[in-house]
Structure 1
Amino acid sequence: MQTTRKYIIVFLVFTFITSLTSFEGLNAQDDKFVVVLDAGHGGHDSGNLGNGYKEKNIALNVTLQVGKELEKDKNIKVIYTRKTDVFIELHERANIANREDADLFVSIHCNAHSSQASGTETFVLGEKNTGRNFEVAKRENEVIFLEENYKENYSGFDPSSPESTIAIGIEQEVFVEQSIVLARKIEDNFIKDAKRKSRGLKQASLLVIRNTYMPSVLVEVGFLTNKSEGAYLNTKAGQSKMANSIRDAIISYKKELDQNVGAHLFDVGVPEVTEVETKPMIVEGVIFKVQIAASSNELEPKSYNFKGLENISREKEGTIYKYFTGSTSDYNEAKTLQDKAQSAGYPDAFVVAYRDGKNIDVSEALKSASN
């Protein structure tokens, strides 16, 4: 009987210790560092199509590789906003991160420009929307036009309005400093490990990270519109290099937090990129437009029907409706609009010219400019 009691006591003690170990295991699971990885665009939103590459595919490949590497760390839990070619609304991407009570939100994209610009950029939320920063924010935010209920979801937000983009920077201000720490690590890794050109870390008002209640960054891994950079990003080796740089930055960021080493970054200078401006080429008496589509379907000439492109006009020729973007006497501006249209998903967009309301050859218009 005495022996039996001893066995019962030992069993109860063992069971108690085992239960404590189990609870500790559960707590360890709950205490994992949660990273939400967001592959930009997807589904019917291809992103930019520089040099024929699809941003949505490259962004997804890089994102999945970052996640695969991070998942090797048992202390990190990875959540994806998408793992396949599907369209996820911008506000839902942030909702996913908030529901998971994430520690980090990282959105991965590819850049585009009308020139042969190159290099990586990592954005954090902020009010510095001057120059190219505003253009990037505007381009990424215009994805909302592809959402059915964008007016309800974004409360009258206008991607083309600087006032709208300035307002959204305030909500995540408390996390900006930590976001800058991660952004700087990512860009440093792109330079040191991936041997890529970096355009630095920037601040812009980006909807995808507006409502995330944790440090958040948007990474542009390079320009698909740059011939050599686009080709590099379309390779497995290039995607692997970029993914590893992002992974290492996240791990380094987590390590700093674990060690309670909080770097204060007040008054961090966020570098601006100076773009080379193209001189105007005004042709008096001529209006240039960019034809983006021709169809038997009559569509409203609205931005949301044409992937966010602005100043849309429509002409009917027989049974065909032709659709245009822009209206300018500056030929170089028209060429920039053509590049923008092609990057937005209209690879066959071309410049047309009008004099006195009649269509003329562009070559004829340019000859009159040289006379």
Structure 2
Amino acid sequence: MKTSLKKHIFLPLILLLSIQQLSFKKATTQDKDERRLSVVVIDPGHGGKDPGTVGGKVQEKDVVLDIALKLGNQIKNEFPEVNVVYTRKSDVFIPLHKRADIANKNNADLFISIHANAVEQSYVYGTETFVLGQHRSEDNLEVAKKENSVILLEDDYTNTYEGFDPNSSESYIMFELVQDEYKEQSISLANRVQNEFRERAMRKDRSVKEAGFLVLRRTTMPSVLIETGFLSNATERNYLSSENGRKNMAEAIFRAFKAYKTEVEQKSSFHLATNDVKPQPVPRPAEETKQNNTQPAVTETKATKENDLFYSVQIAALKKKLDTTPENFEGLTNVFREDAEKLSRYFSGKYKSLKEAELQLETIKKKYPSAFVVAFLNNQLISVKMALELEK
């Protein structure tokens, strides 16, 4: 039975997500080496009128801010070329959607959100790191509800999050239908964080988990949410409220960051739709080459560009393979699909110029807020930056 994308995918997305992604033009013209991890956003949870979890006299907002600042300082000291951006550096309240916006607008390569946990059972303790996904247990759902409930302190949160109720299990159904295309990288970092907590900081490892966190869903880069311990547990509360404890936690996260940075830079494939190797022109048939051997070589390159280079608008990235029929895509008749091993991407239109694609993007984003422009050469995804270079 055919699944309707409009009914089962985009309505939940439209209901929840008013994502203000980076202007693709800005992202592709920014002068930075896409093979390197050059911008990290560190997000100390809660703040200001939102204390977060409270255990005894210890408030989550204070613990995580100190860990975040310590982490950022370590990154800047060892990697001065990395731009460290904080969602907050003092005791102020930052709405959830603005935290993600800060990461998106800074074209971040990584988003690290730091928190502390609490439950009614005071004997529970340990660390856990979350990536965006479907909750696999009620415990994971409860953590997501707790962290998402901060939106209730925001002005006009009903309109901002378009009816999302952080305390309603039904609101989390959408996380079952959304595939995060940065999940593999996020899990890689999360695993390293938990390994460092267990092996170096000697903390109990409660493993890497998935859950539906709004702040992770709104970011457009690999992202993790770290629960550094339970303030409801007296021993762990004392540890996290101590200078040495917070220092150990920051160092553990830093070591995980360092190992992850090395990994992604060695692979040189951190951005999924980026290819830094300039494609070669498609060879002409021998007979045609012979007939036109008096033409300059640049003519061949130009012809290849004109015939094989085009722009499009990506509107979804999903595990499911859906028919590209209009009823599945809000009536769009020019949708095509590209399948990968674990993911299918859906695109709208084939345009000769970036300007034409960006004009269509403005219209498409009214229906699909997370849409963005991509480029193809010889039916292979390349970066828009490279496409613009080929047009010169």
2:154 to 125, 131, 147: 147
Q: Does 1:112 align with 2:81?
A: no
TM-score calculated relative to the size of structure 2: 0.58
CA distance in 2, matches of 1:259, 1:29: 12
Residues 88, 129 of structure 1: alpha-carbon distance in 2 compared, 3 angstrom cutoff: farther
Q: Read off the aligned partner of 2:205 and give its amino acid letter.
A: S
Question: Which residue of structure 1 aligns with residue 390 of structure 2?
Answer: none
| Distance in 1 (alpha carbons) for counterparts of 2:252 and 2:32 | 30
Distance 1:119 1:258 in 2: 31
Segments of structure 2 that go 5 or more residues without pairing to the other structure are: 1-30, 271-340, 343-392
Q: Partners of 1:34 and 1:222 in 2: how far apart? A: 27
Are positions 1:100 and 2:106 aligned together?
yes
Given the alignment, which residue of 25, 42, 49 partners 2:47? 42
Partner of 1:199: 206
In structure 2, relative to structure 1, the CA distance for the partners of 1:32 and 1:178 (3 Å cut) is: closer
Q: What's 1:186 paired with?
A: 193
Deviations 1:144-201 (A, max 9, x none): 1100110111010011222322314655611111100000000000011101111011
2:50 aligned with 1:68: no
Once residues 205 and 94 of structure 1 are traced to their aligned partners in structure 2, the CA distance between those partners, rounded to angstroms, is 14
For 1:293-304, what aligned pairs fall within 5 Å after superposition?
A: none
Which residue, 195, 213, 224 being the options, matches 2:220?
A: 213
Match of 1:260 in 2: 267
Aligned mate of 1:58, from 59, 63, 74 = 63
SS of equivalent to 1:174: coil
- When structure 1 is superposed on structure 2, of 230-239 and 160-169 the one drifting more is 160-169
Match of residue 156 from structure 1: 163
Structure 1 vs Structure 2: percent identity of aligned residues?
46
Seen in structure 2, the aligned counterparts of structure 1 residues 32 and 136 have a Cα distance that, compared at 3 Å, is closer
Length, aligned pairs only? 240
User: Match of 2:54, as an amino acid?
Assistant: L
Partners in 1 of 2:204 and 2:145 — Cα distance?
A: 24
- CA distance in 2 between counterparts of 1:157 and 1:52 reads 32
- SS for the counterpart of 1:69 is helix
**Structure 1 portions without partners, runs of 5+:** 1-25, 268-371
Instruction: State the Cα deviation string for residues 225-282 of structure 1 (Å, max 9, x = none).
Output: 100000000001000000001111111111001111889xx99xxxxxxxxxxxxxxx
Q: CA deviation at 1:109?
A: 0.4
Partner SS state of residue 88, structure 2 = coil
Amino acid at match of 1:208: V
Does structure 1 conserve the Cα–Cα contact (< 8 Å) formed by 2:117 and 2:227? yes
Label 1:165 to 1:90 Cα distance change in 2 as closer, same or farther (>3 A).
same
For 1:132 and 1:200, the matched residues in 2 are separated by 13
Give the direction of change, closer, same or farther, for the CA distance of 1:181–1:28 in structure 2 (3 Å limit).
closer
Alignment match, 1:5: none
Identify the match of residue 97 of structure 2 among 80, 83, 91.
Answer: 91
Measure, in 1, the Cα distance between the counterparts of 2:269 and 2:176.
Answer: 23
Does the 8 Å contact 1:172/1:211 carry over to 2? no
Contact 1:256 1:262 in 2 (8 A): no
Contact in 2 for aligned 1:124/1:203 (Cα 8 Å): yes
Aligned residue number for residue 258 of structure 2: 251
Residue in 2 aligned with 1:136?
143
How far apart are residue 74 of structure 1 and its match?
2.1
Higher RCO (Cα < 8 Å, 6 or more apart): 2
> How far is the alpha carbon of 1:126 from its aligned partner?
0.2
Q: Secondary structure at the match of 2:181?
A: helix
Residue 177 of structure 1 is matched in structure 2 by 184
SS at match of 2:171: helix
